[in-house]
A and B are shown apart, each in its own frame.
Chain A
Amino acid sequence: MAVVALKDNYIGEVADRVENFHGNQVVYFNWEKHLMFCAATAFPLPPDMPFGAVLEQILPTYYGMHPDFAKIDWSKVTWTVDGKAFTPDPAKSLKDHGVRHKSLIRFTTPGLDGIDGTCS
């Protein structure tokens, strides 16, 4: 039973269908071991946006104030989307990387473990 309800076969309306986002899809980003950013961040992004825009605009704008950010060696960063490892290609779109509506992208920066190494 998908819900306990007075009415048989009650179906709920899905509040976050992709059609409600005006052509965008929601994408989440999380920088591992940097809990100064309290949670993963959420953005409404066009599926055709090139991954380069993530690297050049989104991440520097929203994570750039962290002292580790300038030290990132981007060639060593490891990435997953919804648990699957991938290597970003700046020219290819989010969609090409397997990013769907409400996908979670996690990135790990080896050797960088936050403020004083405390994962903040």
Chain B
Amino acid sequence: MAKKLGLKQKYQMMTRGLGWDTTYQSMDKVYPFDKFEGIKVHDWDAWEDPFRLTMDSYWKLQAEKERKLYAVIDSFAQNNGHLGISDPRYLNAVKLFIQGVSPLEYMAHRHFAHVARNIRGIGPAVAAQMQSLDELRHAQTQIHTISHYNKFFDGIHEWRHMHDRVWYLSVPKSFFDDAVTAGPFEFLTAISFSFEYLLTNLLFVPFMSGAAYNGDLATVTFGFSAQSDESRHMTLGLEVIKFLLEQDEANVPIIQRWLDKWFWRGYRLLTLVAMMMDYLLPKKIMSWQEAWEMYYEEAGGALFQDLARYGIKEPMSAAVARKEKNRLSSEAWAIFYQYTHAAAFHTWDIDEEHKAWLAEKYPETFDKLYRPRLDFWEKEAAAGRRFYNNALPQLCTVCQIPMGFTEPDDPTTICFRESEYKGEHYHFCSDGCKGIFDNEPEKYVQSWLPVHQIFQGNCGGASVEDVLKWYRMNLGADNLDFSGSPEDKFWSEWHRTASRAEAAE
């Protein structure tokens, strides 16, 4: 019997050995998309694959992950696992996830397949193909897992329809649409490097660890099952950057511009995660600021020291993110608290214990800037005047988030930036978003800004109710404050019955 191949040899044969140069059509005709961005690649064979994973091992490992995951999902459903969560408020993080993130997983599946087909290096093509399959698996397992909650809780039934329409979901949607309408190398820099390598830990790790802490066994399991693929994706991202930087000096400024852009776009998207960590999770793992310091400043810092030898600098707006870290989640909460009548998840008044935690985690900002308004809102709600903002907010043309961010050096003044292009005004929340627009205005003049679309009459009608129906929201169930919502009632009723049953024993 032939000797078993070593990992390196096997990898060589089962990836590199599968590539070939075309002969009866030119390579440029077969691969028409990998040059227009200005990226120069001289030697695809210089590509190094850190994870030497071949398709045969890939299938085996993924099958094992699926077996484990579906065993948990089955037993979770059979045992009414949804009743074991810490507090139904926790589920609002899950709603945001299925509405905002799962559709992106599917988009990633589609676009990594496109990239795998359209770059001519076999090493990255195989990695992109595996990632395309991973992303499809992530979308499917998330839908399967969260469908159990859909039987009992609101806001989960029309996530796919909502993703393309609802105002706050235009934030993740436009982020990904921006990436897939770029060339293949910008896409890889955007998603594989900036998002997967620099920022994904901030999405998945606190979210899943938070799920574990809040008794959501099902989400922990799909989350970590997906996250086990992310390490491979992160590695692809890092390798892409290093490879492109080493191929040609002319690539350096192009990559730097993409890093500046996609760091900022990813960071702005994570505003939703900051709010989730500090405000939505009933039991908290760590604060947004702590997570940012651990996963971006420390881990990212080490990486950028390493990339300095290619002439790459830390992303331009990283300093602004550092200044915002002790206020980001509170500014986001203010947005969603006052617009929760138009959102398919709930918000609520913050109790004293939670405020004390926020004050401890954010000693420079919380008591000084945010506690007084939370107290005021609570008083208003108690008096039957729960505060909802009935005017629509101004949105940033690039990140599409309501312009609730403040000046980097003054947390009491909204940060307004604007550009004039071909006689039109465009508004931005930050220098980061303005810079992105100014580099490629012809792309962002097309932004589908939900508020403006409502005014144009493209969203079901003129009243808030018309628009929410067009979103397919169940009014009075999906939206408004948690207090008094159907799931608040369902949960208290179940606990009353459960404690009666216990007392009878």
Whether A and B touch directly in their complex, counting CB atoms under 8 A apart, is answered as yes
Structural contact, B446 and A15, CB atoms closer than 8 A: yes
The contact of B445 among A12, A21, A28, A103, by CB within 8 Å, is A12
Chain A residues closer than 8 Å to B377, beta-carbon distance = 36
Q: Are A65 and B387 in contact (CB under 8 A)?
A: yes
- A26-42 Cβ-contact flags toward B at 8 Å (1 or 0): 10101011011111111
A70 interface contact, C-beta 8 A: no
Bits for A3-28, please: 1 = Cβ < 8 Å to B, else 0: 11110001111111100111010101
Contacts of B427 in A (CB 8 A): 28, 102, 104
Task: Decide: A102 and B424 in contact? CB cutoff 8 A.
Answer: yes
Q: A21 contacts which chain B residues (CB < 8 A)?
A: 452, 455-456
Of all A-B residue pairs in the complex, the 3 with the closest CB atoms, nearest first, are A41-B391, A119-B412, A120-B373
Contacts of A3 in B (CB 8 A): 440-443
Interface residues of chain B, those whose CB is within 8 Å of chain A, are 32-33, 36-38, 182-183, 186, 331, 334-335, 338-339, 368-370, 372-373, 376-377, 380, 385, 387, 389-395, 402-404, 406, 412-414, 416, 418, 422, 424-427, 440-449, 451-453, 455-457
Q: Kindly state the separation between the CA atoms of A24 and B370 in the bound complex, as whole angstroms.
A: 36
Known contacts A3-B442, A4-B182: does B385 contact A65 (CB below 8 Å)?
Answer: yes
Given A28-B427, A41-B393, A42-B393, answer yes or no on A120-B449 (Cβ-Cβ < 8 Å): no
B404 partner, pick from A15, A22, A38, A120, beta carbons under 8 A: A38
Which chain B residues lie closer than 8 Å to A82 at the CB level? 418, 425
Would you call A78 an interface residue if the criterion is a C-beta within 8 Å of the partner chain's C-beta atoms? no
Which residues on the B side are within 8 Å of A39 (C-beta)?
335, 393-394, 402-404, 414
Tell whether, in the assembled complex, residue A15 and residue B372 are in contact, meaning their CB atoms are under 8 Å apart. Answer: no
Minimum CB–CB distance for B1 against chain A, Å: 52
Closest chain B CB from A117 CB (angstroms):
9
| C-alpha spacing A90/B427, complex, angstroms | 27
Q: Are B414 and A40 interface neighbours, CB within 8 A?
A: yes
Q: Which residues of A contact B414 (CB under 8 A)?
A: 30, 35, 39-40
- Name the residue of chain A whose CB is nearest to the CB of B371: A118
Residues of A that sit less than 8 Å from B by CB: 1-6, 10-17, 20-22, 24, 26, 28, 30, 32-33, 35-44, 61-62, 65, 67, 82, 100-104, 106, 114-116, 118-120
Contact B373 A115 (CB under 8 A): yes
Can you offer 11 A-B residue contacts whose CB atoms are under 8 A? Answer: A4-B37, A4-B440, A12-B445, A13-B446, A21-B456, A39-B402, A40-B394, A41-B392, A42-B391, A42-B451, A65-B387
Given known A15-B445, A101-B425, contact A36–B376 (CB-CB < 8 A): yes
Q: Is the CB of B334 within 8 A of A14?
A: no
Q: Which residues of A contact B446 (CB under 8 A)?
A: 12-15
Which of B373, B413, B445, B455 interacts with A14 by CB under 8 Å? B445
- Besides A41-B392, A101-B424, A118-B369, 18 new A-B residue pairs in contact (Cβ under 8 A), listed by A number: A2-B441, A3-B442, A11-B442, A16-B424, A20-B456, A33-B412, A35-B334, A36-B376, A37-B389, A38-B389, A39-B403, A42-B452, A43-B391, A44-B455, A61-B390, A101-B425, A118-B368, A118-B373
